[in-house]
Structure 1
């Protein structure tokens, strides 16, 4: 039996308070989230980039609604027992929309979520052409999120994309304001050098726990986990590696099928049918079937 939503939220807070950074690989659907859990990770991250790519086959430029994102979060949370941290974009509007977003995500079973200070519609934090709302408006949105949560264990993460727009000092000042407004963790998106990463950590790690976004192929340098731990980050996201790996695997299979007329040459690299059905829980389903026959 899966635990109620409160248990994963409390667990997430325990993990974030433990020494060393919590690693949360990205998932874009329930299957990829199950694979993260089965690989032994303690938390999973719902990527907005991957959700957009897999639901509608389009880039992360603000095309999905809050309802579509919350529905994906609900499916993922229902498929795993580990805590789910979810991308909630901008909250899909103003402070009033943030209230509804937080309530929807909380009902979906997420353990934590992050809200960002981009304008609506937003875009992936590692794309060019971003714009941000006024700091005071975002501070109000964070206060609205804090007031909206029914479970005080729900982890609220404030993300700022201002470094690419206003410069790193302005982004750091925004993060401080968001912490004052009640954010549990701070997330300065897309620093572009290791020196900038160190500056973020030095300025903010004593203000609130910090998030590091190890965006695969993005603008932030791919520094080692040991260095991230040394700088004092509490949470590390690896948002799209699973999506990229799945894409490469599908492309390879289709290339073989196109060339050979059958997928036979690619099959040795794939899970067997029986292994896959075991992975997605067929034995448990069969046990229940026998139990209640």
Structure 2
């Protein structure tokens, strides 16, 4: 793991891998470093992208309306979330991890949702939530999410990605991304050194000292070349998920300063983003410590309080009794965390206002993908009930809405997509209509073609006798039984539609079903044509009825 230093002037920027956590400027003005700004970050991350912390000035009005432009609403996402907080009862918020999962949350009727750093790290990087993902990646993912939905979204702001100044920058970035709220926690994100320098002729020595170690950098400048030598001796504990091992929290004073910095950033941006103050000190220190910190967060102006990993219903009750005017948030970690899983009525009785479900969507997605891959590897496709139809998928993604809106801008030379897709079908229907009108029938009258099985009992398509033609009056039954003895599939299809069999069970693609049917064509009653187990141990049976 390599630290990063970024040295920038008006003409050059030198970047050495790491994530921003600390900024400082050299002084006095006559120092050989006076034209440069140093950034020596300590957030544990691997090749995380940096975002330019210097932004052009914006008017207060543009900052307030930035999120509103994303939503197309008369009120900002933060105001919409505050309306939810004012409503009576408990409000459930599943945690999404991308635009599609957020759209599904909205379609399900939820009033708001969360983003989960755990889930985003898993879905975007395929890595654990141990500090790998950067603030820039979280903001980028968040912007994709907030633009996809009209409900307010509360973003996982992690530790704010550094000290109080970094917290301010993170909050402003989340505001610009369209978030309605941000969760900020008091875990240690990295070491926080104190910096000083001394001028030595053409060299500048920068020494950084902190509670976790010491760090030294020597910089030499020439007109065309910059040599940066860094020697770091810093034992950094990466940020951890609240229900995993290795949590460490910052001091009380620094924890409170993070929330104060977030509130100041909100004021400076002219925003009303909801600040959710989280403490991980219950598991890192004690229950009393977490209650003390929550009270302090409320005193400096946090909008919602959240203690992660409370260990019992009694602890949850004690939490809800402090600062009664400030809403409380619960975290129901599915699958087994420190906190007991309670239903919404129980949480409301304790005094909670918001509840997050962080793993439901990413968890069932992982399981569904694993099941589908197992089926495909075994020569099958996922059963029809395990996934939506193609039409349902298109509806979820907005194809039909797109087609309707596209019609507003259609021209004679620019035919809408929906019309192009259905043009061949329309031309066939038009020919049928012309024919029926010539015959004196209404276009609505049904056109029925009758094919009698007797024709195929004796003759094939070319007029010759064909024993296989009798199969059209028979039915194939396909049955799949799992290794556990439970029935997975039991369907019946016309025996003549052999292509349909492989669409259901690709493993039958290499079997000559027609030959088996030829042999059984003259038999009366049912017959077992196939009985075998596939590579996954499932029993596949094919009957002729």
Runs of 4+ in 1 over 4 A off after TM superposition: none
2:343 corresponds to 1:274 = no
Whether the 8 Å CA contact 1:6–1:153 is kept in 2: the answer is no
Q: Which of 156, 162, 171 is equivalent to 2:290?
A: 171
Question: What secondary structure is seen at the aligned counterpart in 2 of 1:236?
Answer: strand
Rounded Cα–Cα distance in structure 2 between residues aligned with 1:156 and 1:143: 10
User: Of the candidates 334, 338, 356, which is equivalent to residue 216 of structure 1?
Assistant: 334
Q: Which residue of 2 aligns with 1:78?
A: 147
TM-score when scaled to structure 2? Answer: 0.52
Instruction: Look up the SS of the partner of 2:147 in the other structure.
Output: helix
- Measured in 2, the distance between the counterparts of 1:5 and 1:227 equals 35
Which residue is equivalent to 2:402? 285
Q: If the length of structure 1 is used for normalisation, what is the TM-score?
A: 0.95
- Is structure 2 residue 78 aligned with structure 1 residue 9? yes
The yes-or-no answer on 1:116 pairing with 2:234 is no
**Root-mean-square deviation (Å):** 1.4
Residues 254-274 of structure 1: CA deviation (Å, up to 9, x unaligned): 0000112x41x4343211111
Give, in angstroms, the shift of residue 8 of structure 1: 2.2
Deviation readout 1:132-179 (Å, 9 max, x if unpaired): 001101111111110111244210010000000110010000111111
Whose strand fraction is larger, Structure 1's or Structure 2's? 2
2:281 equivalent among 162, 181, 189: 162
Kindly report which structure 2 residues correspond to 1:1-293, keeping only aligned pairs within 5 A, or say none. 2-4=71-73, 6-120=75-189, 121-149=238-266, 150-204=269-323, 206-217=324-335, 218-260=337-379, 262-263=380-381, 265-293=382-410
Any idea what the Cα deviations from partners look like across 1:30-76, whole Å, max 9, x if unmatched?
Answer: 00000000000000111111000001111111111101001111000
* Alpha carbons 2:155, 2:179 under 8 Å: kept: yes
Could you tell me which runs of 5 or more consecutive residues in structure 1 were left unpaired when the two chains were aligned.
Answer: none
Structure 1 or 2, whichever has the larger Rg, is 2
SS in 2 for 1:227: helix
TM-superposition CA deviations, 1:93-140 (whole Å, max 9, x none): 001101110010000000001100000131111111100001101111
- By percentage of residues, which structure has more helix? 1
Secondary structure in structure 2 of the residue aligned to 1:190: coil
1:33, 1:80 within 8 Å by CA — same for their partners in 2? yes
Q: Do the aligned partners of 2:295 and 2:322 also contact (CA within 8 Å) in 1?
A: no
Deviation at 1:200, TM superposition (A): 1.1
Q: What is the aligned residue count?
A: 290
Q: Is the 8 A contact 1:5 1:111 kept in 2?
A: no
Q: Secondary structure at the match of 1:156?
A: strand
Higher RCO structure, 1 or 2 (CA under 8 Å, sep 6+): 1
Determine if contact 1:6/1:151 at 8 Å carries over to the other structure: no
